[in-house]
Amino acid sequence: MSTREIVIHGPALTPSELPTVLTVAGSDSSGGAGIEADLKTISAHGSYGLTCITALTAQNTTGVESISFTDRATLDNILEQNFKDVKVDVVKTGLMTLDAVNALDLALSKYHVGKPLVIDPVMVASTGAQLSGEDVLKVAVEKLFKRATLITPNVPETKKLLGLYDDEFEIDGPDSMSKAARIIHEKTGCLNVLVKGGHCLEKSDNAKYLTDVLYTSANDTISIFRSTAIDSQNTHGTGCTLASAISANLASGLSLVGSIESAIRYVHSAILSAPQLGHGHGPLNHVFHISSPALSTFSVSNAPFIEGHFVDYLISHPAVKPAWNGYVNHPFVAQLAEGTLPYSSFLQFVSQDYPYLVNYARIHSIAASVAPDMACIDREIAILTEIKHELGEHAKRLAAKGVVELESLQMNATCKAYCDYLTEVAKGGDWLEINVAMSPCLLGYYQAAKNVSAKDGIRSEYKEWLDTYTSESYLGAVNKGKQTLEKHSVGISYEKAQKLVKIFADVCLLEENFWSSALHETA
């Protein structure tokens, strides 16, 4: 084991003051909307985010599975602890409950009078799930809207608000959106209303445009924000993101119009650069403009796995997985555990495994000759000792059936193809390639035996075989083999990794074929 010392010098930085935004909203377990989107957005805008989580959801990009709401006492306590300790510049709301509305109303009266409040009246998720009811909306209008600097309803939410006053009409463009914004201001007392037009796109010259309309009460002005619509499934959390971006901009001192324009540009870019995550409405890329500080100091490895996860990478690789699963869940082992495997098939396996193990020993001898260090040579010697022991056990099984001339055992076509492949790798490959080629045998026998449960009363030879490959000593050998592969795969190139993937996949298929031949042939 080697030891190295890494001296880290602190950068020349000084303490800074960050604008603060408190988000009162639900949590999205998939990370694309709610509190999670809020915090990413607030941080991406150079502000500090505080939270009060109104609900926990179990959801992903395809829908909301369940919602658990936070109780009133906990909400009161969270808000009290935040407000009494940190100066909050802006409060932003998302998914609210009756308890959350009442708790926030009390906290705002105590700590946040006359300060910016941005309300995103979340009622329905982008996946279509109902998140909040009309009863909550009514209480929020009564207790929170009159305090609001800005509310940001989309078209369906705008219609719900108008419906509270029996003043519904079709909303299909800037004129009707402007009319709705003015009415909501007059009826609810909120200062400013931004009606988002994602649900009523405009068409012009074969292009689609998204229009958001802001009504500003201080100067009785309508501002229209028009941008090119983006055809994308990655729109989960756009409303939360927009409201949080506006809040962070207000906290930083931007004007209301400037805050909204900047936020719209941010959301637009976050959609365009969105990662393809999940199978439904995917999340935005909230950090498209931010680079990791590590990238300015360290070079990025082009290896497609994280150090210490090379074996996991091999087994889970799409090119390997089918062959690996077919191998470690093979009917040969399942029948052996059930006691239904014909003994002739087991004997056929042993009669082929004996010459295979002889060749296996030869390959490990070649590996010893190209090993990079004494530790690897010692490991090859230990493996050869184990192979010799296993050959002895096979010899006993075969002798019991009258097979004593072991050198006369002939490889069938399947066994020969397997051994020829390993020999080719050993002749042309380096030590790591050889060991990767040998590893499916080591790793797979343990996994295959572990995947089954031996029934009572099966043949003693079958139980002995299963016990051997699930024993603590064999598991120790498996773990040692994994550790060796992990150590020597550090720093390999992408091209090298792909070569090793192919070798591993090829050998998994050869192992599967080996057991299949035992089922279909008799000794």
Which residues are annotated as catalytic?
441, 511
Q: What 3-state DSSP class applies to 57?
A: strand
- What percentage of the chain's residues is helix, strand, coil (to nearest 5)? 55, 15, 35
Question: What is residue 411's DSSP assignment?
Answer: P
207 bridge partner residues: 204
| Dihedrals phi, psi of 298, to nearest 5 degrees | -115, 145
Sign of CA dihedral 462, 467, 468, 470: positive
What distance in Å separates the CA atoms of residue 173 and residue 181, rounded to the nearest whole number? 12
What distance in Å separates the CA atoms of residue 33 and residue 241, rounded to the nearest whole number? 7
Cβ–Cβ under 8 Å, residues 168 and 153: no
What distance in Å separates the CA atoms of residue 144 and residue 82, rounded to the nearest whole number? 19
- Which residues lie below 8 Å from residue 166, measured CB to CB, with a gap of 6+? none
At position 256, the amino acid (one-letter code) is L
| Dihedrals phi, psi of 69, to nearest 5 degrees | -95, 145
Query: DSSP readout, 285-350?
Result: -TTTT---GGGGTSPPP--SS-TT-HHHHHHHSTTTHHHHHHHHT-HHHHHHHHT-S-HHHHHHHH
Question: Which has the closest alpha carbon to 507: 449, 423, 447?
Answer: 423
| Dihedrals phi, psi of 48, to nearest 5 degrees | -105, 130
Question: Which has the closest alpha carbon to 110: 133, 91, 84?
Answer: 84
User: Distance of CA 514 to CAs 55, 94, 199, 415, Å?
Assistant: 54, 59, 59, 6
Question: Which has the closest alpha carbon to 50: 80, 29, 70, 12?
Answer: 80
Question: What is residue 31's DSSP assignment?
Answer: S
10 Å CB burial of residue 212 (0-12, 13-18, 19+) is buried
Q: For 23-51, b where at least 16 C-beta lie within 10 A, e where not — what string?
A: bbbbbbebbbbbbbbbbbbbbbbebbbbb
Question: What is residue 236's DSSP assignment?
Answer: B
Sign of CA dihedral 265, 268, 273, 279: positive
- Which residues lie below 8 Å from residue 59, measured CB to CB, with a gap of 6+? 28, 29, 30, 65, 125, 127, 129
